[in-house]
Amino acid sequence: MDATLRQLAAYVAVARAASFTAAAAHLHVSQSTLSRAVADLERVLDARLLERDTRNVQLTAAGLETLRVAEQIVGAHESGMKELRRYLLGESGVVAVATLPSVAAVLLPRMISAFRRQRPRVAVRIMDGLERAVLGRVLSGDADFAITTVGASPDRLDHRPLIRDQFHAVLPEGHPLAERDEVTWEDLAAEPFLAVGPQSSVRRLTDAAFAQAGAAVTPAAEASNVATVGGLVAAGLGVSAMPALVLPLLGPGHVVHRRLTGPVVERRLDVVVRARRTLPLAAAAFLDVLEEFRTELPPGVSWMG
């Protein structure tokens, strides 16, 4: 049979103190308990570990080796439990956030620095991707939660609104529409439209907005990367429409943006978690930080809830 953790811990205490009585006082148990525990250990190992001559307790060679091993085992238990507790209290570990590239680039950095001021020992892993991939990360458990648009509300996921993000017209510098303060979807429909790829949630929203405005728009060009779309606009190949958070990602080209109405279209970014799962405490703490993180946002972006 194997030695109990209790026997090993008792033995370590007695061997270190070289005294049953002293070790008992130190551990706040009775001396008889330790006497028995050590005797049990010796019986289990079938070896004499301590030489007791009423006045002194002295380790045998086997006792020395046993002490070494027992310290390892007991130490592994103690440090492991301590580590685990820290993790479970959300004081260490990794928070994995899945989110859209625009959120990852524009909002997350500030959120993370606020979070890490509060929990410096918790790392944050960012997984950016398009809505479908992002939701998949949450479903599979790779990510603790997501901040993303949610098209068709999928099964096994809970979500709640976090941020409102208004669409803006994206125009080349010097374009006639740029002279106005506001542009309508109908205005845009008259120009060559540069769209993001069909996988993007932005594309779904622009398609819906044109339909709502009663315009049938076939994109003049598509690119999966928004920076590419920005470049196309800057080069004068057409116009586009992007949520406010995406505007900083349009690249260094000379583009301008204007409020986009008729209708005002908003992208809603939700916090998405797995249904019927309790979040790891560190992840929950991140969301708590988000609750209080009501700092100023770029124009056209606002908090919800």
Partner DNA sequence: GCCAACCTATGCACATACCGCATGGATAAA
Partner DNA sequence: TTTATCCATGCGGTATGTGCATAGGTTGGC
Contact residues for DNA, defined by CB under 7 A? 4, 6, 19-21, 28-33, 35-40, 52-55, 57
* Shortest reach from residue 72's CB to a copy of itself, in Å: 6
Residue 58, strand partner residues: 51
Q: Which is nearer to a copy of itself, 7 or 148 (CB)?
A: 7
* Shortest reach from residue 104's CB to a copy of itself, in Å: 21
Cβ atoms of 258 and 181 closer than 8 Å: yes
Report d(CA 236, CA 170) in Å as an integer: 11
Q: Which does 73 bind (CB under 5 to 8 A by kind): a copy of itself, DNA, none?
A: a copy of itself
Q: Which does 264 bind (CB under 5 to 8 A by kind): DNA, a copy of itself, none?
A: none
Query: Which residue carries 């148990």 as its tokens?
Result: 29
* Shortest reach from residue 111's CB to a copy of itself, in Å: 20
Which two structure tokens, joined as six digits, stand for 281?
């405490």
Q: Which does 30 bind (CB under 5 to 8 A by kind): a copy of itself, DNA, none?
A: DNA
Cβ atoms of 145 and 266 closer than 8 Å: no
* Shortest reach from residue 69's CB to a copy of itself, in Å: 4
Binding site for a copy of itself (CB under 8 A): 2-5, 45-48, 51, 60-62, 65-66, 69-70, 72-73, 76-78, 80-81, 83-85, 87-88, 93, 141, 144, 277-278, 280, 283
* Shortest reach from residue 146's CB to a copy of itself, in Å: 15
Q: Which does 88 bind (CB under 5 to 8 A by kind): a copy of itself, DNA, none?
A: a copy of itself
Helices (H) and strands (E) in the chain, counts: 11, 13
281-292 and 108-118 helices cross at what angle (nearest 10)? 110
Report d(CA 296, CA 286) in Å as an integer: 18
* Shortest reach from residue 84's CB to a copy of itself, in Å: 5
Q: Which does 38 bind (CB under 5 to 8 A by kind): a copy of itself, DNA, none?
A: DNA
Write out the DSSP string of 10-67: HHHHHHHHT-HHHHHHHHTS-HHHHHHHHHHHHHHHTS--EEE-SS-EEE-HHHHHHH
